[in-house]
Amino acid sequence: NGGKFVKYDGFWIPLEILRPTLSTQKYFKAKDSDIILASFPKSGTTWLKALTFSIANRNIYATIDQNPLLITHPQEVVPCLEFNLYLNKENPDLQHFSNPRIFSTHIPFKSLPDSIRESECKIIYVCRNPLDQFISERQFVLENKIQNDTVLPLKLEESFDMFCQGIQVTGPVWDHTLGYWNVYLKNPEKVLFLKYEDLKHDITFYLKKIAEFLGCPFSLEEENQGVTEQISKLCSFENLKNLDVNKTGYFTGVMKNSSFFRKGEVGDWTNYLTPAMAERFKNIMESKMEGSEKDAVPLEFDEAF
Ligand code: A3P
């Protein structure tokens, strides 16, 4: 039963993701040059994939129109680690990827394969206002009719109740985010911590930040040539959504390519959730964050009322 949620290693996952997660923990051997894009689902992973791939490979594709993102869905350009290891059971070292290998993962920091935590590889984490994340995930599951204990066939109120208990793919969200946040605070060379809302606010600033973090900062010459603008335009919601490759077809046979590009906005939760629901979640979040840095998760609740 694919949609059944189980608790493993302190976090919630659908049973069908348990085996890929165990394979990842067991087999994946990180290289120092690897780049791992970590996120809670529906927090901007697809966008981060497009940005990081374009930054890291900008010298390979001399002009922007050679970038494979124009003809390949970002989910395939940067594969999900769990899913790939599961598919590559016979050949789990994944050595055939070109350098730097870029993978995404939703696994919480403390449950990552040891080699990711122990090697010199870099991790970029992106988080998002959990209320927007919750709505994005719900819409995604409904759109793709994915069997999922926490969404189908539940009403919004019931689904929200589970969300408040932390029952979501790789939830609770507060543990997930704090796990990466705490490593970032101790070792900012290892983890770059980004927020979806900040990327929306000033993409050029964060493009440069990602490039610096990866040890390949943009040169003055590149900036004068407008390389940062070209990358941010290529990876923009409007551009990616409207590319032919992202309008049709399926990712892994069940998720519509187009469903990874829904609205791409900040604050869409206000169209679905009541102020009382938001207040309830805000209180939970605050109690979970007690004793840690308060701005670990963007809590932009107030602007809506
Ligand atoms: P919405 O459902 O709120 O529109 P993930 O990639 O982690 O699955 O997250 C998907 C969310 O990121 C969706 O949010 C999607 O629309 C949004 N998104 C995808 N590409 C984006 C981009 N280039 N810029 C901004 N948001 C993007």
pLDDT of residue 300: 53
Alpha helices in the chain (DSSP H): 15-27, 45-56, 74-77, 81-87, 114-118, 130-144, 156-164, 173-186, 196-201, 203-213, 220-224, 227-234, 237-242, 244-247, 275-289
pLDDT of residue 103: 96
Nearest CA to ligand 1 atom 24: 237
Query: What's this model's pTM, rounded to 2 decimal places?
Result: 0.95
Residue 43 alpha carbon, nearest atom of ligand 1? 7
Does the CB atom of residue 268 touch ligand 1 within 6 A? yes
User: What is the 45 CA–ligand 1 centroid distance (Å)?
Assistant: 7
pLDDT in tens, 173-221: 999 999 999 899 899 999 999 999 999 999 999 999 999 999 999 999 9
pLDDT of residue 1: 45
* Chain centroid offset of residue 202 CA: 18
Segments of the chain scoring below 50 in pLDDT? 1, 301-305
- DSSP code per residue over 231-270: HHHHTSHHHHHHSHHHHSSEETTTEEGGGG-S---S-GGG
Is the separation of the CB atoms in 295 and 145 below 8 Å? no
User: What is the 257 CA–ligand 1 centroid distance (Å)?
Assistant: 12
Known active-site residue 176 = no
Does the CB atom of residue 129 touch ligand 1 within 6 A? no
pLDDT of residue 113: 95
User: What is the 46 CA–ligand 1 centroid distance (Å)?
Assistant: 7
Distance between CA 140 and CA 126 in Å, rounded? 18
Across all residues in the chain, what is the average pLDDT?
91
Q: Is 291 left (phi over 0), alpha (psi -120 to 50) or beta?
A: left
pLDDT of residue 303: 47
* Chain centroid offset of residue 290 CA: 25
pLDDT in tens, 57-88: 999 987 888 999 999 999 999 999 988 777 66
